[in-house]
Structure 1
Amino acid sequence: MKMSFLKMTKIPQILFLILVLSSCGNDKKTSVDPASVVEDTMPKMKPLGPEKRISQAYINSVKGRINHFYNKNWPNNSMNGSFLVARNGQIIFERYNGYANKNEGTKITAETPVQIASVSKVLTATAVLKLVNAGKLDLDQKVNTILKTFPYEDCTVRMLLSHRTGMRNYAYFTDHDKSVWDRHNQLTNKDILDILATKDIGLEAKTGTRFGYCNTNYAMLALIIEKITGLKYKEAMAEMIFKPLGMTHTYIFDDDKDRKTIVPSYKGNGAEIGFDYLDNVYGDKNVFSTVRDLLKFDRARQSPDFLKPALLKQVYTGYSNERKGTKNYGLGIRMINWETGQNFYFHNGWWHGNTSSYITLMKEHVTIIALSNKMTRNTYAVRKLAPIFGDYPFNFKDEE
């Protein structure tokens, strides 16, 4: 009886102690900053780290040919933008020319962010892939399980990334019909989703049957990033990519905050191009960056920590093989696949007067980037530099 009594008298004490400890634990939980939880669990890009230094002799052997291309493509330093070539993350050649803002007389420098247009898709895809890699999203997950009002039930995340949804471009279905959208109002990503959900916007092709490059796909991917992370797209991109990589001159354009401070774009004749109702949509465009920041981004995509090998292989697999040809599209990257087995990975962009080209020669560890805020197709000619570094069998005579 004595032992039993002692045991019984200890029970309330033990329960009291458990309650106290539990209460302390609850206090700790309520004091945790939700933002810090998001930050701690957010999959982030990591810099590649030190790469093998290239010799001055090697730089000298290729610099003359790059310089010759530059002078031929932009005679008399006529480029209005920035241009960079690097190997192993080491800059071999770079140039900055022209006006960032003609009215203010400011020149483009290494620290001038410009609109990179559809090269933004590579960055949006990278954020989505990092979420897939972390198990927060599945490539073959139905979009309507994430964005509940999304109307095309067969569409998956993979199809958005590879442009196989069959959706129409939002710039077209909001352009003329006021019953769909009044162009006096700024269009947002959420507006696009609402229109798709309520306005019976038909598909151009049955979902999953063919490739069709479409900006709507990447506007939806931006909403998926927001839904999965609980952050605005601009914040998620900063936390996952820009801050971890030290991309200090890169940001997402916010029409309400940045309209008066961004680098404007110009027509070929030098006339400034104004804003329109499509300028607030992001994911497909609206990343502002520099060639040096994009070099950091490119090298981080070559890191062993970027993606698991099986997922990485799917990124560089072509998804547009309905007709035999060399041109293809992976998960957020364009590619040319030759019968020789050689592959060329890149993405171009155009929005208003901004043109951009991002090239990553993965075998040779070479990065080529050109950005312009004055309308010109010469930006896209930088792929002519690829044969300097490897066996890339372009037939440039057909383009001249």
Structure 2
Amino acid sequence: MASDASAGPLDGIRVVELGQLIAGPFCGQLLGDMGAEVVKIEQPETGDPMRQWGQGSTPTWWRVIGRNKYSVAADLRSGEGQDLARDLIAQADILVENFRPGTLEKWNLGPDVLHRANPGLIVVRVSGYGQTGPYSSRAGFGGIAEAMGGWRKIVGFPDRAPARMGISIGDTLAATYGCLGAVAALHHRDRTGEGQVVDAALYESVLQVMEGLIPEWAVAEHKRERTGSKLPGIAPSNVYRCSDGDYLIGANQNSVFLRLCEAMGRPELASDPRYACHTARGERQDELDAIVEEWTLRHTVAEVEDAMIAHAVPAGRIYDAEDMLSDPHFAAREAIVTVEDPELGPTPMQGVFPKLSRTPASIRRLAPRVVGQDTAEILERWLGVAAD
């Protein structure tokens, strides 16, 4: 792990994280990865439930989402805990929280109160439906936001119920937009000295990445539906079976389709009127996919990949974690790094992203092993309270 000397572009920025589970803590992780000093306030004894989350026999997610953070224990439901939180937030640049709207106000920790003591504070509020509107008081999780934002409707195969994509994308999108809002608000504060509230709703974060879904319906009355692994009208671009596995090929552009045809030993297909242009290929998508798969089925994944690389056709294997850990490109770019965990030993995890050339960020601290393990240090450094 790197030293604090190479903390990153947000070195010197102080963050208080009041969130739990995914959306708030992932926003805190992003800020911490970029060099901010993140103090996570956790419920005494139990801490963030993320400490017990993850798949497999040993929960490991906390090692990622808790990295680059300090843990302070405080019961926010008590007056003493609320006082401590206010004192710490008064010294912070950014507050991150993902409670249901109204919770901070109930604890006397609303933005109006906090801004009186710290006018430059940026408050990132991540919630299911946002801080305003008729649904704002409802409980909301990432999966619910994915459904409302249009994501679940189009994921899966048309003859089956809407599917989950395998990760909590609604939460992580909202966290990412919350982080983006915080950085934008820091720029505004640098010019004006003013803090502000960043309102990041989970469902709107999903909506932001839904491409042309809204105007397609409003203008042309076209509704996107579930299409499985196909992208309607874009061909050939699909997952194709090989003799020993699956492989993804994206060759819908004219020049790329020509190179794919040459790789398959079928150059005549590129000039065939049925497949000679983007529109024609889209109209015969199933037919063209069958032609490509008839070729891939006669070869192994490795053989198809060699042909795609040789002919400069965008294509790739469908990776799982084991594949990523053995791929030299991941290692060369430090997309996956290994930290020395005192309990788990060498533990691979995602590296810091994105990569900045002048102020590279890093993993500087392991996730706190014990709830409140850094309370004394933070109170001394931030508030001047003696360690004893």
**TM-score using structure 2 length:** 0.22
**TM-score using structure 1 length:** 0.21
